[in-house]
Amino acid sequence: MPKHMDVLPNFQRATIEFAPIPQFVYEGDLQSELAAGLPADEAVCMYDHLLHIRHFEETIVLLKSARYKPLPKFRFIGATHLSIGQEAVAVGTMAALNPDDYITSTHRGHGHSIAKGAFALERADTARLLEFLGDRVGEYDFDRSDRDAAFDAALQEHLFRTMAELFGKEEGYCRGRGGGMHIADFHVGHLGANAIVGGSYAMATGAAMAADKLGDGKVCVCLVGDGATNNGIAHEAYNFATMAQFERGCPVIYLIENNQYGMTGQQVGEVTGIRRLARRGSGYNDANMHAEVVNGMDPLAVRDAVKRAAEKCRNGEGPVLLECITYRYKGHSLSDDCKSYRSEDEECAWHEVDPLKTFPAQLMEAGVLDEAAVAARGKAAEERIERAAVMAGAATDPDPSSIYEGLLADSTSDDIGSEWATPEDALKSPAAKARRDGAGRILARHAVAEALMEEMLRDRRVILYGEDVADYGGAFGATRGLIEIFGRERVFNTAISEAAICGTAAGAAMVGLRPVAELMYIDFLPMAMDQVGNQAAKNRYMFGGKATLPMVIRTSIGGGKGYAGQHSQSLEALVTMFPGLKVVTPSSAYDLKGLLKSSIRDDNPVIFIEHQHLYTSKDPVPEDDYTIPLGVGKIIREGTDITVVAYSFMAQVAAEAAQMAEEEGISVELVDPRTLIPLDTEMINSSVNKTGLLLIVQQAPATGCYGEHIAYQAQDACFEALKKPVRIVAAHDVPPPMAEPLESENIPSPEKILRNIRELLGR
Ligand SMILES: Cc1ncc(C[n+]2csc(CCOP(=O)(O)OP(=O)(O)O)c2C)c(N)n1
Ligand SMILES: [Mg+2]
């Protein structure tokens, strides 16, 4: 691990050499594969799944235009990004993987999902097939001891669940919460399709990193379109996966499904300056990420490339970048007829190399199937898809009352006992609690480190990473000392890649780690907004409540230091608006330790917002292993005249104001909700019902702030009790200014809070 490496001045003249990137190296065909040991059955099932994908997609074409005879009245409302023409990539890839290897997929992912599930079933024994059928086994009439019959039923069920998801049905893979653009199937390591172009780059990387750290030998294939490769997250993910500090390379295969177009824009000759996207591999490590260009119209070539890539990954030589050259025969979606941006000649040329023509030809030539058998397989596949569609048409519509189901996990890792405890001999140095002063006090930043240390000891799935968190201990010293105890395997620096930090955490969490990621300042959260708001927050719900994302993103808010607009904001409202996240805002060192431990144990993504002013404030903090439940506020002081709700550091500022008010004979009840999501409305509202007045204090600007939500819900719940409209003391609607007089004016002060208390009381 090249950490202690002197960086000396060296200005030696030289040139930087790049190794060549191979293109279309596969020379095999079906004959040679059969001779080399490919079972004929496997070749036939590759053909079957090419057929399933093709017929599935063609059924969508008919459904969308209401021309599908078996379901004449069905109204198909979802997206229609079809992969007709690209089947060889899906089939070749999934044929090369183990059933429990991971994939992430795209908006054009029906084929990926069909093939991933189908190949997993192909390799399953009877017990596993029956387990897959589960409660729905009774839908099929077959001999339970007959493996082939169980397979037929399971395959039919798989196609049905896929179609049912597109139809938005309860039996769909994601209970109709995701639809075609968000299919996931965690039984078989399908970690989800993504409608954000490039959205899964970091998640796939995180899942692969987790697989390596958990030592389970799995690889993750990150399927992306050619258009996705130009998104910033692609760069961040490639870089993350190739970090030199990883002792073993990250076992991720970035598989670019280059169908020649983004929506209509072309990578080559138009929106990039390169001819092959595989060339990007040379930017990330000396191995070019083993980049290779592959014939994506040939399932055997894809299978060969993915097999070799997976082997490299399993050997610790990942990541690998594959560019599979393919073509979509239909438009971007069915509302695009392609006429404005491509020629018929071009389309015809690609139809000549259609895998649905070339592969059966090879099967016949090799004597695996004769013409009648090829036709019979085509008919059987078509019938399966028709049956899947008819069953899906008759499947259950989700009950509107179930709308919240699957949003948040109600589980924690509280009761894991010693199952995941860090073994004593894995510690690099003894783990010691922070040193207390005579009053048992420690700095809040030491409370951060202590909470992390305790949780990392009790659960070796907890890892910590972010910018400068390792040897340096983070920008605020809050993680100092942890690398000495746990080593670089569990505490490591990342590049300055906020999106990759958050997105990899989501991916790692989905497959079994419990990552704690650090974002230095909340001001940098917008760099990671897709990963936090569209991925981490949504993955559980969109995937039908099947994903669990136990992850924490620790970040800080500040102000009052003259750091101005990009280092002083209170952007909590950016995360409270995404259902699926929990948001925690401690106001003291004591709360910080207890809440951070609960956040790490929670099975949901938690955004943990620490105020920089807290880091250097001291509080009595027990050495014990205590936790504070998320969603339970605290009455900092009881009172009768007015309720003040304040969170994070503002709770301390409001406490000063309350003290000043008391000296004037005003009794303030100060409530710190401690967590914004979930919000302890019961505590707030029972206080408001008692006092009849509510003042909310926050450091964020007034408009569009979280305080408005607290105010709304209180007036909704306590309208009768309220004597006056709820008031919010907030920052002004300006970016935080630098100059001291302006910054002081901007951040709520005890005096300003007191003034507002007096006004509400009419004094
Ligand atoms: C971040 C983002 N930008 C734009 C879109 C709209 N959009 C959806 S698919 C698509 C084209 C994607 O091209 P590519 O990655 O090559 O995948 P393909 O559609 O060709 O399979 C675009 C622009 C989106 N969904 N997400
Ligand atoms: Mg494309």
Domain boundary among 564, 597, 620: 620
Mean pLDDT in the chain? 97
User: Both 454 and 354 in a single domain?
Assistant: no
Cα 746 from Cα 729, distance rounded (Å): 10
User: Both 483 and 351 in a single domain?
Assistant: no
Site to substitute for ligand 1 among 197, 200, 260, 261, most atoms within 8 A of C-beta: 197
The CA-based dihedral angle spanning residues 220, 129, 45, 295, taken in that order and rounded to the nearest 10 degrees: -10
- The count of structural domains within the chain is 3
For residue 627, the CA-to-ligand 1 centroid distance in Å is: 44
Which residues lie closer than 8 Å to 673 by C-beta, 6 or more apart?
585, 633, 645, 647, 679, 680, 683, 684, 710
DSSP 283: G
CATH number of the domain where residue 469 is located? 3.40.50.970
Selected catalytic residue, list 55, 567, 611, 613: 567
Atom of ligand 1 nearest to the CA of 195: 25
In this structure, is residue 658 part of a structural domain? yes
* Closest to 194 in 3D by CA, of 104, 100, 254, 80: 104
642 token code pair: 């007015």
Question: Is-contact 460 421, C-beta < 8 A?
Answer: yes
Residue 554, helix vs strand vs coil: strand
Q: Is the CB of 267 under 6 A from ligand 1?
A: no
pLDDT at 256: 98
In this structure, is residue 252 part of a structural domain? yes
Residue whose CA is at the smallest distance from ligand 1 atom 5: 197
Site to substitute for ligand 1 among 107, 231, 350, most atoms within 8 A of C-beta: 107
Q: Is the CB of 226 under 6 A from ligand 1?
A: yes
User: Both 41 and 190 in a single domain?
Assistant: yes
Q: Is the CB of 631 under 6 A from ligand 1?
A: no
Question: Is-contact 355 88, C-beta < 8 A?
Answer: yes
User: Both 259 and 354 in a single domain?
Assistant: yes
| The 3-state secondary structure of 644-711, one letter per residue | EEECCHHHHHHHHHHHHHHHCCCCEEEEECCEEECCCHHHHHHHHHHHCCEEEEEEEECCCCHHHHHH
Alpha-carbon torsion (673, 677, 682, 684), positive or negative: positive
Strands 634-637 and 668-672: antiparallel
Q: Is the CB of 332 under 6 A from ligand 1?
A: yes
Domain boundary among 598, 620, 642: 620
Atom of ligand 1 nearest to the CA of 231: 1
For residue 230, the CA-to-ligand 2 centroid distance in Å is: 11
Q: Is the CB of 49 under 6 A from ligand 1?
A: no
Residue whose CA is at the smallest distance from ligand 1 atom 8: 197
In this structure, is residue 266 part of a structural domain? yes
Residue 299, preceding peptide bond in cis (omega within 30° of 0): no
Atom of ligand 1 nearest to the CA of 106: 21
In this structure, is residue 304 part of a structural domain? yes
pLDDT at 2: 47
In this structure, is residue 8 part of a structural domain? no
Q: Is the CB of 499 under 6 A from ligand 1?
A: no
In this structure, is residue 317 part of a structural domain? yes
- H-helix or E-strand spanning residue 606: strand 606-611
Neighbours of 354 (CB within 10 A): 18
Q: Which residue has the tokens 């019902």?
A: 689
Residues in the chain with pLDDT values less than 50:
1-2
User: Both 588 and 675 in a single domain?
Assistant: no
CATH number of the domain where residue 697 is located? 3.40.50.920
Q: Is the CB of 195 under 6 A from ligand 1?
A: yes
Cα 132 from Cα 134, distance rounded (Å): 5
User: Both 135 and 102 in a single domain?
Assistant: yes
User: Both 603 and 644 in a single domain?
Assistant: no
In this structure, is residue 409 part of a structural domain? no
User: Both 615 and 678 in a single domain?
Assistant: no
pLDDT at 5: 77
Helices 110-122/147-166 angle, 10° precision:
160
User: Both 680 and 559 in a single domain?
Assistant: no
In this structure, is residue 629 part of a structural domain? no
Domain boundary among 570, 590, 620: 620
Read off φ and ψ for residue 310, nearest 5 degrees: -65, -40
User: Both 376 and 447 in a single domain?
Assistant: no
For residue 231, the CA-to-ligand 2 centroid distance in Å is: 13
User: Both 660 and 602 in a single domain?
Assistant: no
Neighbours of 336 (CB within 10 A): 16
Residue 424, helix vs strand vs coil: helix
Q: Is the CB of 465 under 6 A from ligand 1?
A: no
Q: 116-126 pLDDT, tens per residue?
A: 999 999 999 99
For residue 297, the CA-to-ligand 2 centroid distance in Å is: 14
User: Both 254 and 379 in a single domain?
Assistant: yes
Residue 693 lies in domain: 634-761
- 52 classed as catalytic: no
